[in-house]
Amino acid sequence: MNNVITTTCGLCSTGCRLSVLCNEHNQYTIKGDKRDPVTHGALCTKGLHAIDIMLHPERLTQPLKRTGERGKGQWITISWQQAIDEIALQFNQTQKTYGDDSVFFSYGYSKDFINTQLLKLANAANSVNIHGPETVCWAPSKYGKEYTLGYNPSADINQQTDCIIFWGVNKHNTRFTEMRAINHAIEHGATTICIDPQQTHHAKKANYWLPLVPGSDLALAMAMIKIIIVQQWYDAAFVADYCYGFSALQSHIQPLDLAYLANECQLSIDMITDITQQYIHAKSAVIITGNALDHNPDSFQVNRAIAILMALSGNLEVQGGQSKPQGKALVNGRWPYDPQDVDQLSPTIRQQSVGSPPIPEYFRATSQGLMDAMLTGQPYSIKAGLIVGTNPMTSWPDSNKVKQAFEQLDFLVVSELFMTPTAMMADIVLPAASFFEYAGVTQGQDGSIHYQAPLQQVGDAKPDHQIIAEIGHAMGIMPVYNDNDFWRSALSPVDIDLIQLKAQTSIVADVEKQQTLSYLSVGFDTPSGKVELYSQKLHALKLDPIPVYRPNLPLTECYPLRVTTAKSRYYMFSHGRQITALRNKYPFPTVKMHSKLGQKHSLKEGDIAAIETAPDKIIYQKVKFDDQLRIDTIVADLSWWFPEMKNKQLSGVFKSNYNVLTSTDVGVHSDIGSFYINGLPCCIYKAINIELSTL
Ligand code: SF4
């Protein structure tokens, strides 16, 4: 008999509601749940194939212990008891020998409740070395805007929105649920401006498309600020009453040369002036920023400059403009952390994490700091680690260096769904359950919470939050794991347990009507109580108190082109290359370039191009022509590895993976630890005798 299970997709933080049909042969069909007020029943391609992840024949189903050389794929299966006991023993011994901070804990993209759970374990183990991906995803945007406005604004897009700037973002590919409001505003006449090196979905439909040089965003933002101030287009009343440091900003932009800034972006002054005018003179306007603006060492200041534009334009907390986040979360520990877990160690102690960047609010270890400590023992040794739901062999900078660093570890544990290049480097690999395999809680994009109904168990896989707790218990530093207690604690803001949530299915967030102009009564949550055009906190930290544009890495005779990257709509970072349905839609890593550039290098569509950023940093991707790209810019895929290659060369992780091209050198102005990703100087040539594998 057919059975319909109402549950949620936990692949990303959108948390789409699902109706899963299970037939008499235990075969599943996924559909979006039309009752979901955010998605209205729509799902992205990845979510539609989430069952394929759960039931994939190569899922890890039992704990594995390495028996041969690292990365050679020789394993024996062991029991959970043995795995957890060995991990606890090794972590305890490492800490006794090398100190508490010698064990690191690393998580990936916001998978369920693992970030907070892993921080709890790190706290219990008294290690400051908790690590996440935020230095190149979310942290620059959050802290750059918070340092300026006191909060990280959302976009209140509705029919009153007259102008939308899409800056380094492609909602069509990465957060499709927001497209409904965007389309609605466009239907009501909103002007759209897209700032992106690629002609994305937004660019195709935009009134203005600015294909800037990748990595030159701060030059563009500073040029816009200059134009607004020189033309006196800013909201004078708002600036006078609610901004701190306007005269300092005026003095700062006075010597800036507009022609130089425009040339850095390779955009005309007229074009920059036009779009600035459209933005500033709109009755209400929003700037939507994306992950691309988290990517280079100047990313924190790029986001500062954009927050300054929001303030100068007077679009803060107005209907159809930038909104202040409202409401209280209905769950604890969803993402990123509970403040009390952060506060368990003092800020001074937390800053001892390796590679900790200058912005103290971002207290975590950085990937470059961890690798240096593994390789050099400086500032102290990192000897063991637990990696949960992330694949540093593709996501950390300089993949070759990642391998060398992991080879120096005494003991590495990876919790994963599949055998990844990172898991191959581990001593013990733990089989993690996918979200379909256990009862839990999912938070929707609107803040509502939903019961996540389990479909079935796969092998001996366990949820990550349980695995982390069991390791902590075996180390003698956390209580025994109890599922009821875990979820009751997560649900404490709504004072129910998981069984009650199951009965209710969902609790809808009480989204208050959008507050407008709250700063009239409460000001801004900054040291001055105003928007800080000049940041007192940054001044105290000896960082640039007003954004300063510094050019990206210079082009050279050997490396005359710029390479940048963008997320695919078919894969979640490095995840999903083993799913046949997804791979059939997007079988190969692909580099896009102008046909004239290809012809110049004797490349035609379908050829394999070598992309080189240094003599020892070369990857290979299939050529696709895109004549909307600048002639000197190429766009390569990120995070590629080839699961079908199994143990061969760590599943081909050095062949096409973008992070082979990157480096751990973040320069001296990376306020938040971001490394160079966009606009790396490179060259291309036709690859000889290189084949790219496919399923
Ligand atoms: S948007 Fe996220 S939650 Fe929704 S279906 Fe896609 S992967 Fe799942």
Residue 138 to residue 289: CA distance in whole angstroms: 10
Residue pointed to by tokens 């990206």: 552
* Pick from 319, 285, 329, 311: nearest CA to 513: 319
Helix, strand or coil, per DSSP, at residue 203: helix
Instruction: Determine the pLDDT at residue 514.
Output: 62
Res. 510 pLDDT band, cuts 50 70 90: confident
CA of 47 to the centre of ligand 1 (A): 5
Q: Is 154 helix (H, G, I), strand (E, B) or coil?
A: strand
Q: Which of 12-16, 215-219, 266-270, 450-454 has the lowest mean pLDDT?
A: 12-16
Phi first, then psi: what are they for 244, rounded to 5°?
-110, 130
Query: Taking all residues of the chain, what is their mean pLDDT, rounded to a whole number?
Result: 95
Return d(Cα 380, Cα 473) in angstroms, integer: 26
- Helix, strand, coil fractions of the chain, as percent rounded to 5: 35, 20, 45
Q: Which of 44, 51, 177, 567 most suits a substitution to test ligand 1, by most atoms within 8 Å of the C-beta?
A: 44
Q: Are 140 and 672 in contact (CB under 8 A)?
A: yes
Lateral strand order in the sheet of 285-289: 208-210, 191-195, 163-167, 285-289
Measured distance CA(344)–CA(337) in Å, rounded: 12
327 pLDDT band, cuts 50/70/90, is confident
How many Å apart are CA 106 and CA 122, to the nearest integer?
10
Q: In angstroms, what is the span from residue 332 Cα to ligand 1's centroid?
A: 21
Mean pLDDT of 519-523: 95
Domains of the chain: which residue ranges? 3-54, 64-135+331-435+460-482, 150-326+516-540, 561-686
Residue 511, pLDDT > 90, answer: no
Q: Is the pLDDT of residue 328 over 90?
A: no
The rounded percent of the chain whose pLDDT value lies above 90 is: 90
CA dihedral 173, 563, 387, 571 (to 10 degrees): 30
Which atom number of ligand 1 is nearest to the Cα of residue 32?
5
CA–CA separation, 105 and 97 (whole Å): 18
Q: What is the domain class of 561-686 according to CATH? A: mainly beta
Query: 9: CA distance to ligand 1 center in Å?
Result: 6
Q: Say how many Å lie between the CA of residue 32 and the centre of ligand 1.
A: 10
Residue owning tokens 């990376």: 670
The residue contributing the CA closest to ligand 1 atom 8 is: 47
Q: 150-326+516-540, superfamily in CATH?
A: Dimethylsulfoxide Reductase, domain 2 (3.40.228.10)
Check whether 389 has a pLDDT greater than 80.
yes
Ligand 1 atom nearest 50 alpha carbon: 8
Question: What are the tens digits of pLDDT across the range 392-443?
Answer: 999 999 999 999 999 999 999 999 999 999 999 999 999 999 999 999 999 8
* CA separation for the pair 531, 378 (Å, rounded): 39
Structure tokens at 413: 């544990």
Q: Using most ligand atoms within 8 A of CB, pick from 8, 9, 174, 335 the residue to mutate for ligand 1.
A: 9
| Cβ proximity of 634 and 592 under 8 Å | yes
Atom 2 of ligand 1, nearest CA residue = 12
Ligand 1 atom nearest to 39, measured from its CA? 4
CATH T-level fold of 64-135+331-435+460-482 = Rossmann fold (3.40.50)
What's the gap in Å between 28 CA and the centre of ligand 1?
A: 17
- The whole-angstrom separation of Cα 152 and Cα 145 is 5
Instruction: Measure the CA dihedral 222/226/229/231, to 10°.
Output: -140
Q: Could you report how far apart the first and last alpha carbons of the chain are, in Å? A: 34
- Residue 265 tokens, joined: 């972006």
Q: Which CATH number applies to 3-54: 1.10.20.140, 2.20.25.90, 2.60.120.590, 1.10.287.10? A: 2.20.25.90
Confidence of residue 567 (pLDDT cuts 50, 70, 90): confident
**Residues whose beta carbon lies within 6 Å of some atom of ligand 1:** 9, 11-12, 14-16, 43-44, 46-47
